[in-house]
Amino acid sequence: MIQSDMKKTVLHAQQLRKSYGIKGNVQQALRGINLRIVEGEFVGIMGPSGSGKSTLINVLATMDKATAGKVVVEDVDISTMKDAERSTFRCNKLGFIFQDYNLLDMLTVKENILLSISLGKMKKKEVEAKFQQIASDLGILEIAHKYPHEISGGQRQRTSAARALIHEPALLFADEPTGALDSRAATSLLEIMEKLNRQRSITILMVTHDPIASSYCSRVVFLKDGMVYSELYRGSKTRQTFYTEIMNVQAVLGGDHVDPA
Amino acid sequence: MTTLTLRELVIRSMRSNMKHNYLYFFAFMMSTALYFVFATLANDSLIMAATFKDIEFVLLLKVSGILLVAIMIIFVIYANNVFLMRRSREIGLYQLVGLTRRSVGLLLITENVLLGMGALFIGITSGALVSRLFLLILLKLIDSKNVLTISFSSSAAIQTAIVFTILIALTLIQTLYKVYFTALIELLEGERQGDQPVRPRAVLSSMMGLLGIVLIVAAYLLSNQTLGPAFLLQILVILASIILGTYLVFRVTIGWLFYQIRRIKNGQLGLKNSLSLAPIMHRMKSNALSLTLITVLSAMTLTMVAIAYSLYYSAESEARAMLPYDFIFENNEHDANSFRAELESAGLTFVHQPIEAVRLTGRFGTGTEDRHSILLLAAEQLQASGADIVVPGQGEAIWYSGLRKLLSTERNFNFPQVAYLGTYGGYALINVSEGINRYMMNFNVQGSQLIVSEATLADIRQLIPIVPEQEIVHIDTYQIALMSDRAAASDYYERYIKADKYRPSFYAYYKDAHLKFGLTLFIAGFLGLVFMTATGSILYFKQMAEAEQERNCYTILRQLGFGEREMISGIIRKQLFVFAIPLVIGLVHSFFAVKTVSALTLSDISIPAAIAMTIYTLVYFVFAVLTVRYYSAFLNLKFIV
């Protein structure tokens, strides 16, 4: 706690509410969520289906508008922005990794990665240098000129990660990034994310239902019925210990992996 | 209960179909209406025959009708294929929720039949309504003062109904095939995914790409050459080379070019190119065939319209080049004088000029050609009759031949060259210094027309003794100042023409050509309209299908934070390529085709051809705008995040 006060706040959500539907049949997906993420944190969001984790990431990532409450990213209030402004903000400040990679089929790996900085006015040489750096970090330099359908799922997800990181976003959102990967590819991706987080102090917010994935995080936030249920900090614990703790909370929560009976 | 639901389904999906596919119905109705008009005109042969006398207009209309049906078959099948693809998920879902294939088939058939029959009915009705307008346009084109009335022709309606019912039946077969012979999983997946992108193989594709260009250029060069004796074979070779070349250009060359651009960009493609170059490049493989078809059709239409247009507008100058004098009498002073008297008594302004020409046999040209009849005309006499002509020097002649361009054997002449005049009795040599591509004397007067000075003519007459082959031809020429007077004079002239002699007057010849080419322009113009609409619509539908396939891509771009304006400019660039590539290739094709054909006509056809090409470009532009509108609306609508 002391630690987080000293560091810069990257994202601050206050009393976030989101409801769907029309009068008489309103579904409340978020019922007042407070969340504060500081620079260099690797936050995992967990919770059973319908707990509001997808809604939360959509609202935080400016892809959806909250019904009430406030979201501030790097001292900018994004909850009052217009659509076009939010698009620009999203493009410049945020990075995304999706469960199904969301790469463009007709572009090569390199073209996909460089697409997100194509609107900026960076020099060609700079762009190339950045690409070389991030592609070698993620181990996808050799497949730069291949098309997405020619490479493996893990490579695709690393491409997606490279695309999300190339413009040095303030915050990286990952929505079930390991959901479509086999365990080896998933482990490899998580290790890379952990490394990026530690070495380059990239701030990451990851939604996942997989306790193994969230054991790589520095903090895990549990949601239930649209509210924060509890939080776990990893601190100096080993990943194995942290994993066990996460499993315990999940058992209480009645998560995906626990038999409700 | 079931029937009610099915009926509701039919009505609902028909309504949404109408909204999305208005262009299809428009094209369908338009061609039905046009076919009906053609059929009506062809059936109303009695009235039309009176106007068009000997012209084979019924045949012309029938051939046009067949062309119309041919393009409609291509169009309808293509469009229906796109619609089925778009709806394949829906078809799959119906089956998934328990509808049998039979009832899904029934649903689609009912829909197709109702919509098709509706379009057919509206088409025939509007055809009947506008046929009067069509007729007015036709009459205007041929300057006819006859008032033609056409009544609703039920036989034409039946003919139209039969032809277009067969067309609808074709779509039904296609639809049923889709419903019955496609696996459910394929239906559900739809065709969201286009082809997977493949990198072109370096050597092979650059070779093939080059071959495509070589084939087209070779065809152009070949078309620029004189049509030889085996010109049919030559035309076939040109056509085959053009079509194959065009196909290769679409299939390989363009993809290869785009690939090179991407390689140079080295990954930094930018959004606009990512949305235009990349998808077009990857779709070329599957689109090559239809793009070739569209391009060849566009080129054909353009050529057809340009030629018809120019034939129509150059009818007068063409007639003038063939018949420099309004009326002539050859060796018939008696008739000539009485004609003159008639003109005088009618009070018409005219110029009468008698010309003394010499007709003899002789030969000129290369090698051992047969002797043929030569008509020697004195330049001074022609000048007196108002001809714009230079008097050749002593012993020199200028050859006036309107057929020079046509006949390749005569085209190979080199100037100057020596002509041998006369027979065994005596020779005269004369130097033909030049050949000019029109006639100085009405073309029906026998003999190749050599223009010499009066002195040269006198010399030749001295040199060559009087033999049966040599004769003095006395020609009385009449020029009438006003077009309106010519019509009256033509009536007088007609009476002197004996049934067995072909003696066209300028007026009659011009009128005949005007009529013939007016009808040709009428048909070519409307066929061109249908062709343009059909090819433009095919491109439009293609883009509808691609929008569907690319929807996911735009969703991703939105998620990444790209703004609408940037995406729309990407769409615009893509449509620019999609419409400009076939248009430009088609324009270049037709440019060379028109150039080849212009060699066969005496007058300049570049302006009418340019006008036709401009109209075509404008129509394509309209389609491109419609497509961009559809594309953007489609993507805004599906604002999924």
| Residue B356 lies inside a defined structural domain of this protein | yes
Residue B573: pLDDT band (50, 70, 90) is very high
What's the number of domains chain B is made of? 2
Q: What is the pLDDT of residue B413?
A: 60
Please enumerate in sequence order all residues whose Cβ is within 8 A of that of B525, keeping only pairs 6 or more positions apart, or say none.
Answer: B305, B308, B309
Please enumerate in sequence order all residues whose Cβ is within 8 A of that of B337, keeping only pairs 6 or more positions apart, or say none.
Answer: none
Segment A63-84, tens digit of pLDDT = 888 889 999 998 889 888 888 8
8 Å CB contact of B267 and A84: no
Domain positions in chain A are 40-68+79-253
ipTM score of complex: 0.85
Query: Which of B428, B149, B143 has the alpha carbon at shortest distance from B312?
Result: B143
Look at residue B85 and tell me whether its pLDDT is greater than 60: yes
Q: Where are the beta strands (DSSP E) in chain A?
A: 9-20, 27-38, 42-46, 68-73, 76-77, 94-97, 171-175, 204-207, 219-224, 227-233
Query: Which of B634, B629, B555 has the alpha carbon at shortest distance from A105?
Result: B555
Name residue A70's beta-bridge partners.
A14
8 Å CB contact of B268 and A118: yes
Q: What is the pLDDT of residue B607?
A: 80
Segment B28-39, tens digit of pLDDT = 888 888 888 888
Q: Copy the structure tokens of residue B16.
A: 């949404």
Look at residue B150 and tell me whether its pLDDT is greater than 70: no
Task: State mean pLDDT over B431-435.
Answer: 80
**In this structure, what are the phi and psi dihedrals at residue B114, rounded to the nearest 5 degrees?**
-60, -50
Q: What is the pLDDT of residue B584?
A: 93
Rounded to a whole number of angstroms, the distance from the CA of A106 to the nearest CA of chain B is 6
| Residue B553 lies inside a defined structural domain of this protein | no
Query: Which of B113, B90, B115 has the alpha carbon at shortest distance from B24?
Result: B115
Q: Identify residues of A whose CB sits under 8 angstroms from chain B CBs.
A: 58, 63-64, 84, 86-92, 94, 96, 98, 102-108, 110-111, 113-116, 118-119, 124, 127-128, 131, 144-145, 147, 149, 163
Residue B468 contacts A where some CB pair is shorter than 8 Å: no
Name residue A94's beta-bridge partners.
A171
| Residue B175 lies inside a defined structural domain of this protein | yes
Residue B637: pLDDT band (50, 70, 90) is very low
8 Å CB contact of B563 and A98: no
8 Å CB contact of A84 and B564: yes
| Residue B164 lies inside a defined structural domain of this protein | yes
Percent of chain B clearing pLDDT 70 (strictly above): 87
Domain span including residue B186: 1-191
Cα–Cα–Cα angle for B476, B480, B482, rounded to 5 degrees: 175
* B153-187 burial: b if 16+ Cβ within 10 Å, else e: beebbebbbebbeebbeebbebbbebbeebeeeeb
Residue A261: pLDDT band (50, 70, 90) is very low
Rounded to a whole number of angstroms, the distance from the CA of B269 to the nearest CA of chain A is 6
| Residue B279 lies inside a defined structural domain of this protein | no
A69: left (phi over 0), alpha (psi -120 to 50) or beta: left
CA–centroid distance for B585 within its chain: 15
8 Å CB contact of A106 and B267: no
8 Å CB contact of B267 and A58: no
Select from B191, B221, B240 the last residue of a domain: B191
Select from B165, B191, B217 the last residue of a domain: B191
- Which CATH code for domain A40-68+79-253? 3.40.50.300
| Residue B39 lies inside a defined structural domain of this protein | yes
Read off the amino acid at residue B86: R
Look at residue A95 and tell me whether its pLDDT is greater than 60: yes
